[in-house]
């Protein structure tokens, strides 16, 4: 939307969540292998790390061979899932010079784009990554 001139570069930066979602095993080990004083002072020790790729066998998400109606419902559910926590982040990132109507229009357009993307990319088997990190507190 920045490239299209709908929002400014400043708004783009202000509406992004600083999150790193693809941590590797080395990323999880790093606090325990680095010289960070906090971990050692707390007496924490890394016991194990296990990563799992979990396919979600649930009709809400598994719509690969379904019809257009089911794929539309799927895309609506995707938006319903992310709307509550993304709406406020986006809204607060807008310039104070924008009117409420402008903000609403841009937010509506953003979520329509998410829904369109989810509908058009509903031909994959969804999965989630989980990483279990076990830490022991030494006495």
- Tens of pLDDT, residues 107-134: 999 999 999 998 888 776 666 778 899 9
101 by Cβ neighbours in 10 Å (0-12 / 13-18 / 19+) ranks as exposed
List helix spans (H) across 15-67: 25-33, 37-42
- Tens of pLDDT, residues 55-113: 766 555 666 566 777 778 888 888 898 899 899 999 999 999 999 999 999 999 999 99
Quick one: CA torsion of 8, 13, 17, 19, rounded to 10 degrees?
140
Domains of the chain by residue range = 9-137
| pTM recorded for the entire structure | 0.64
């Amino acid at each position: 939307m920045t490239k299209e001139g709908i929002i400014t570069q400043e708004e783009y930066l202000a509406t992004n969540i600083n999150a790193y979602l693809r941590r590797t095993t080395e990323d999880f080990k790093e606090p325990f292998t680095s010289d960070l004083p906090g971990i050692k002072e707390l007496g924490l020790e890394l016991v194990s790390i296990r990563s799992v790729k979990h396919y979600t066998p649930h009709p809400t998400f598994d719509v690969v061979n379904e019809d257009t109606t089911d794929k539309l419902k799927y895309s609506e559910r995707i938006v319903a899932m992310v709307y509550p926590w993304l709406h406020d982040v986006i809204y607060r990132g807008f310039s104070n010079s924008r009117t409420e109507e402008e903000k609403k229009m841009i937010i509506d357009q953003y979520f329509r784009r998410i829904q369109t993307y989810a509908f058009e990319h509903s031909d994959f088997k969804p999965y989630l990554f989980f990483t279990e990190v076990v830490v022991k507190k030494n006495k």
